[in-house]
């Protein structure tokens, strides 16, 4: 879950090298030329990136690196030329296009060609090493990430969990020095583009100043932090009952390997230990999927059917022809689920090693959220093809997931009956909170770490120290064994070597509840928010589709207002949604020592 990135959602991140016209151009002519050139030239870079992700070989590494290098060179030139039009008097559409072109990309190209080549090579190398990562234990049993994740999800053996947790983290030290090279080159690119550093560039992408955005992210976190603290306290107490005082002391952060996930980012695999009322409304969707013969294709088609029930279009035939929805048996691939916008909206596809599980079923809905964003803004000028901000893109599929209620699952035949009771509600909310609420501090701290790395506040010799300080500060967890600067634990998470900004996920987990509440109101739903599903509601679908079709043609507050009537991000819908569980947790924790 939440292992995604998108290809082609922002002009600066996909354009490739091109010869520039020497003639003087108006701002409008410049924008039109850049869009046309990038449309043609991005076909090469997108194809090279796709092949690299789905066929990890030395040959595809060369092709992807060279294509990325040309992309960075074009990006640098385009940025330099766009600066000439920063204050030009022109029409609003062109002015918006220039503004977007001058924003920071995830890896701004340095002006120096040698550094451009180095930046392209480091990004290609790190992503490839991560994708091919394998841990071989003392008995010679070699496993890749998916197999290791399965152990963390199911086992409750302390030592087995520790072995797997440590094992995956033997992969990332190999590219720690490469990451340092990336930081230096990308920081230089950011400075060449007029930013203080790469952190400043990343935070400039939200229609507000970097300083204002930092405060906004803190404001949103402080809205949800008290609820998270209640959840963390209860989870620690239950793990203490399972493992004892020596392994899970009640006055210390939680050991990171015990939370059912390789990165402790979501805790829903611990649900059997944390179910408030044993056996009440037990929804074993995974078993139902397997019993009913679901395979990768049927799961994907079922996810598509949710979107079409809203009145949104069917996926093009090319989607099923070109997507990778099953892990190949004959080669290394990057299994990390992702959505891709190839062919300027005519060839959208996903890459996901689908397994027949409830979690993967939800991930498919998330990925198709990206795909439907691509389809709905397909007719926008290229420069406007992107989410209103990157958090919007991540929030859409997860908003749909909030509608995967008991009523929806019964409609699909994945549960036999709908069970409504206070006990059933608490169980369902606990299961969801272990995914959604547990994630929030993790979603915020990853970029907190990178911002500090990019700015120099965390020096290269303190990468691991800084990483664990933030993990403890935000999540209340700790490394289960001593770690040193020989390790590179941040790099064990895909988005670090893959260089995908992560604050988008934090924002999306805030906004999806805000979106859900607004769509439920549009659908005419009047009951408790956690019982609402917009499945098959055309009015909600039109409201969603209209917002998606805006792309990034307007500042994000305009898109937010179009869907919700509000002009700011707001976490109050989360507190509303989880009100029953929040009250229950406070009661459970009243005699406990919470905090860390």
**Catalytic site positions:** 367, 495
Find out whether 169 and 436 touch, Cβ atoms under 8 Å. Answer: no
Say if strands 338-342 and 347-351 run parallel, antiparallel, or are unpaired.
antiparallel
Strand partners, 79: none
Cα distance between residue 425 and residue 498, in whole Å: 38
For residue 161, the Cα-to-chain-centroid distance in whole angstroms is 25
Q: Please name which of 509, 502, 438 lies closest in space to residue 474, comparing C-alpha atoms.
A: 438
- CA dihedral of residues 101, 103, 104, 107 (deg, nearest 10): -20
Say if strands 134-136 and 142-144 run parallel, antiparallel, or are unpaired.
antiparallel
Cα distance between residue 142 and residue 130, in whole Å: 15
Cα distance between residue 594 and residue 318, in whole Å: 52
Find out whether 119 and 185 touch, Cβ atoms under 8 Å. Answer: yes
Q: Which residues of 17-53 are buried (b: 16+ CB within 10 A; e: fewer)?
A: bbebeeeebebbebbbbbbebbeebbbbbbbbbbbbb
- Burial class from Cβ neighbours inside 10 Å (0-12, 13-18, 19+) for residue 465 reads middle
Count CB neighbours of 398 within 10 A: 25
Tokens representing 79?
A: 């940025």
3-class secondary structure, 203:
coil
Q: What is the DSSP letter of 339?
A: E
Say if strands 338-342 and 6-7 run parallel, antiparallel, or are unpaired.
parallel
């Amino acid at each position: 879950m939440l292992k995604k990135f998108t290809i082609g959602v922002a002009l600066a991140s996909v354009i490739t090298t091109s010869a520039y016209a020497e003639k003087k151009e108006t701002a409008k002519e410049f924008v039109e030329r850049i869009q046309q050139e990038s449309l043609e030239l991005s076909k090469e870079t997108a194809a090279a990136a796709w092949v690299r992700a789905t066929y990890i070989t030395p040959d595809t590494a060369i092709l992807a690196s060279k294509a990325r290098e040309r992309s960075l060179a074009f990006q640098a030139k385009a940025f330099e030329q766009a600066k000439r039009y920063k204050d030009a008097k022109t029409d609003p559409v062109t002015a918006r296009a220039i503004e977007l072109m001058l924003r920071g990309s995830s890896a701004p190209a340095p002006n120096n060609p040698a550094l451009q080549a180095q930046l392209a090579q480091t990004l290609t190398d790190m992503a490839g090493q991560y994708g091919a990562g394998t841990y071989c234990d003392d008995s010679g049993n070699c496993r890749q990430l998916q197999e290791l994740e399965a152990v963390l999800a199911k086992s409750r053996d302390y030592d087995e969990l520790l072995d797997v947790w440590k094992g995956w983290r033997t992969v990332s030290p190999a590219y720690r020095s490469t990451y340092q090279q990336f930081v230096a080159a990308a920081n230089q690119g950011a400075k060449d583009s007029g930013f203080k550093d790469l952190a400043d560039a990343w935070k400039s992408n939200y229609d507000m100043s970097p300083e204002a955005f930092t405060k906004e992210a803190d404001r949103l976190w402080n809205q949800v932090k008290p609820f998270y603290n209640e959840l963390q306290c209860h989870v620690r107490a239950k793990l203490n009952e399972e493992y004892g005082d020596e392994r899970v002391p009640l006055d210390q952060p939680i050991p990171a390997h015990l939370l059912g996930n390789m990165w402790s980012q979501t805790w829903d695999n611990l649900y059997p230990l944390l179910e408030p009322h044993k056996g009440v409304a037990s929804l074993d969707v995974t078993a139902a999927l397997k019993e009913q013969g679901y395979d990768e294709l049927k799961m994907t088609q079922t996810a598509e059917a949710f979107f079409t029930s809203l009145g949104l279009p069917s996926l093009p035939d090319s989607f099923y022809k070109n997507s990778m929805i099953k892990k190949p048996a004959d080669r290394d691939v990057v299994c990390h689920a992702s959505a891709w916008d190839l062919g300027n909206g005519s060839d959208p596809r996903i890459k996901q090693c689908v397994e027949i599980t409830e979690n993967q079923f939800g991930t498919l809905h998330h990925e198709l959220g990206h795909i439907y964003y691509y389809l709905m803004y397909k007719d926008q000028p290229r420069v406007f093809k992107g989410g209103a901000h990157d958090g919007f893109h991540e929030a859409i599929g997860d908003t749909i997931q909030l509608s995967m209620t008991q009523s929806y699952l019964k409609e699909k035949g994945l549960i036999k009956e709908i069970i409504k009771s206070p006990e059933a509600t608490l169980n369902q909310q606990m299961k969801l909170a272990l995914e959604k609420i547990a994630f929030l501090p993790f979603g915020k701290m990853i970029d907190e770490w990178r911002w500090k790395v990019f700015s120099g506040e965390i020096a290269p010799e303190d990468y691991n120290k800084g990483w664990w300080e933030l993990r403890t500060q935000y999540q209340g967890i700790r490394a289960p064994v001593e770690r040193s600067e020989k390790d590179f634990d941040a790099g064990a998470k895909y988005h670090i070597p893959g260089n995908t900004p992560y604050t988008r996920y934090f924002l999306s987990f805030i906004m999806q509840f805000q979106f859900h509440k607004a769509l439920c109101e549009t659908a005419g739903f009047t009951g408790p928010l956690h019982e609402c599903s917009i499945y098959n509601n055309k009015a909600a679908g039109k409201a969603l589709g209209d917002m998606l079709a805006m792309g990034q043609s307007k500042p994000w507050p305009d898109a937010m207002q179009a869907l919700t009537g509000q002009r700011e991000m707001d976490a109050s819908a989360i507190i509303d949604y989880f009100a029953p569980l929040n009250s229950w947790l406070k009661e459970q924790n009243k005699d406990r020592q919470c905090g860390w």
